[in-house]
Chain A
Amino acid sequence: MLDVRFIRSNTFRWAFGVACLFATFVTVLFAFIYFNIDDYLIARSDRVIIAQVSFFSALPLERRVSAIEDHLAEDPRSVQFAGLFDANGSRIAGNVGLLPNGLRIDGSVQNVQVAPLNWNAPGNPKVRAAARHLEDGDTLMIARNVDETWEISHAVGEALALGLLPAFCLCLLAGAWLSLRAQSRVEEVNQRVRRIIAGNLRERLPHRNVDEPFSRLAAIVNGMLDEMESMISALSGVGNDIAHDLRTPLTRARLTLERGRSHAGTLEQLQEAADKAIAGIDQSLAIVTALLRLADIENSRRSSAFGSVALADLIREVSDIYEPIAEDKQIRLSVGIAAKLEVRGDRDLLFEAIVNLVDNAVKFTPEGGEVDIELAQSEQGTVVRVTDTGPGIPRQETEAVLRRFFRSDKMRNTPGVGLGLNLVAAIVKLHGFRLVIHPGPGGRVEIICTRQERAGQRSGQLECPEARFQAV
């Protein structure tokens, strides 16, 4: 009948536990109240008895008997008993025949049984009685039937107990309802997730904009799915790019070999064809390697290898390396270091990024031009800036240039695979920095090392993915 999962669910068990605890607590409370009321009522009754004993004792003899008779007459419920006995134990007044057995004549109130005169009910009532010897030798006994107080206590107890059962049931019901509710939400999430796993990446978890744990969790998972979706579509894009860009050099290699095979007359010609084909294949391999590296960096968890990196040293090393190359092209390479600035990052990757930027700058600057590498501090953070006097990137292309394999038409024939900037972008993103590409004329690319938060840096990018690369 009831889903076993339901009963076993934590919420239900928890609710049941609380209900039981509640019941126990209430029972203890009731017991406490019950017995207290009981004691209170009896104590009050006892006080009345003692007061009556004092009262009657103080009366003069003539008045005493009539007072007792009046007292008993005013008792519609027959709860009062009184007896005045002489020194021999015979009754002088009252509705009790004999002094009860076992009653100590010391004025204290005790539980005894009395044998009332004209008693119709079966059995002798149990009463609270007190007795005292009077100065004239008589013994006075006053008693009250405490069934009444017992009845009152019972009534109170019952009333309270009557409330316990509904409270217990309510607790259980509440627990059951909460459990069902939680379960239905989990079931809903399960279904969505199953659909997502089946391939429908567009699905998102439902969440009302309420600030409660489930909604917060749903929001986080949705963010994660957003990121996954964009990564997967980027990857599938890469698949297309790879196919396209590998086909070209591979096709060329094949054609060259075919031609060589059918047209080569001498061994040298064949060797030449083979050399060309090898070059084409090498280029394809370079593309594959570069793409794998790119994927590796983009999916890398290398933020654990971060240390303190002295950017000034990196820049000087890069300029050292590219000096001769720049000189060959009559390009003036200058370095401007404002201060010995340091950032947290992966030294090798940052080195590679700067090398790529400088490589591009030197590659695309015509003879006699200038390339500048600067390290400076700005309000946004430490800045590494590479500028050149080449044509730069046209405004319309500043965004496109980060697409894989993008080579602007002017650059079609320069060496390289076209992934340099992608690599830089991936490295920049891994570090949580910003890459800013300014439009031409003149090349101007900046890596702004924004102050990083701790480890969860990459997940912080979820809110505004476009802000990672900024095309100005």
Chain B
Amino acid sequence: MLMTKVLLIEDDGETAQEISAELTDRGFEVEWSSDGIDGLGKARSLRPDAMIVDRLLPGMDGLTIIDTLRRDQVRTPVLVLSALGAVDDRVRGLRMGGDDYLTKPFAVVELIARIEALLRRPVETRETTLRAGSLELDLIERTVRRGERKIDLLPREFRLLEYMMRRSDQLLTRAMLLEEVWNYKFVPTTNLVDVHMGRLRHKVDWPGEAQMIHNVRGAGFILRTLA
């Protein structure tokens, strides 16, 4: 089976080694470049499935690399890594063509979850109904049912479930959820996610039914479709 190729452009050797090791452990094929210009060249020649680009690089900075690729119509998903964590920096990174933005230091689990999310970006469908396992979500009527049972959800819970169903069987970290579902540009007490997830789970997974919403300890949450 073809392994997913990830190009890592990072100038700090130790960080790069750690990331490479983790990615390789999870079955990715990793190509590493420690210089901006060399990295850009590799991006063009190797055509990776995903890229992890550090912002501050010798030769050519990360955002310029991404911008250049985008101008050449290269649509490879890119995760931007940076020590610059201010909101404006994040906005800039995404605006220049990055698909996701992660500030250092980060938990490796976070990185992996986001890379996988990038690689399995939900396809934009015109479907008005989302299906995941036995869950059925009607986007127009704003209703949800599990099998025959109708589930009553508050608007925010609906959004949360919708997000999870579009990324079923993927690890979703708290940070990702806060950013996408709550649109937080800051990190409040992260307990927030847990509490809301707890309630959602309460409504979705009734006793006797197979558990679909799982809490992955130390990492995040996952909606398993049990197929």
Cβ of A203 under 8 Å from chain B: no
* A285-B83 Cα distance, complex, nearest whole Å: 12
Cβ of A451 under 8 Å from chain B: no
Whether A415 lies near B156 (C-beta < 8 A) is: no
The contact of B186 among A322, A328, A352, A415, by CB within 8 Å, is A352
Known contacts A289-B85, A328-B195; A321/B189 CB under 8 A: no
Whether B156 lies near A292 (C-beta < 8 A) is: no
Name B's interface SS.
loop
Whether A293 lies near B191 (C-beta < 8 A) is: no
What residues of chain B lie closer than 8 Å to A352, measured between beta carbons?
185-186, 188
What residues of chain B lie closer than 8 Å to A356, measured between beta carbons?
188
Pairs across A and B, CB under 8 Å, 24 listed:
A275-B218, A285-B105, A286-B187, A289-B85, A289-B187, A293-B86, A293-B186, A296-B86, A320-B154, A320-B155, A321-B182, A321-B192, A324-B199, A325-B191, A325-B192, A325-B195, A328-B195, A348-B87, A348-B185, A352-B186, A356-B188, A359-B188, A359-B189, A415-B189
* A84-B87 Cα distance, complex, nearest whole Å: 115
Quote the shortest CB–CB distance from B41 to chain A (angstroms). Answer: 34
Q: Which A residues from 326 to 367 make CB contacts under 8 A with B?
A: 328, 348, 352, 355-356, 359, 363
Whether A416 lies near B182 (C-beta < 8 A) is: no
- Chain B residue, CB-CB nearest to A305: B88
What residues of chain A lie closer than 8 Å to B87, measured between beta carbons?
348
Known contacts A324-B195, A324-B199; A355/B85 CB under 8 A: no
* A16-B192 Cα distance, complex, nearest whole Å: 76
The contact of B86 among A286, A292, A321, by CB within 8 Å, is A292
Known contacts A275-B218, A325-B192, A355-B188; 10 further A-B pairs (Cβ under 8 A): A286-B187, A289-B85, A296-B86, A320-B154, A321-B192, A321-B196, A322-B192, A356-B188, A363-B189, A416-B189
Known contacts A285-B105, A292-B85; A321/B186 CB under 8 A: no
Known contacts A285-B105, A292-B85, A292-B86; A320/B156 CB under 8 A: yes
What residues of chain A lie closer than 8 Å to B196, measured between beta carbons?
321, 324
Most chain A C-beta atoms within 10 Å of own C-beta, residue among B87, B154, B189: B189
What residues of chain A lie closer than 8 Å to B192, measured between beta carbons?
321-322, 325
Known contacts A355-B188, A359-B188, A416-B189; A321/B85 CB under 8 A: no
Render B195-220 as a binary contact track against A, CB cut-off 8 A, 1 for contact: 11011000000000000000000100
* A325-B154 Cα distance, complex, nearest whole Å: 14
* A321-B195 Cα distance, complex, nearest whole Å: 10
What residues of chain B lie closer than 8 Å to A355, measured between beta carbons?
188
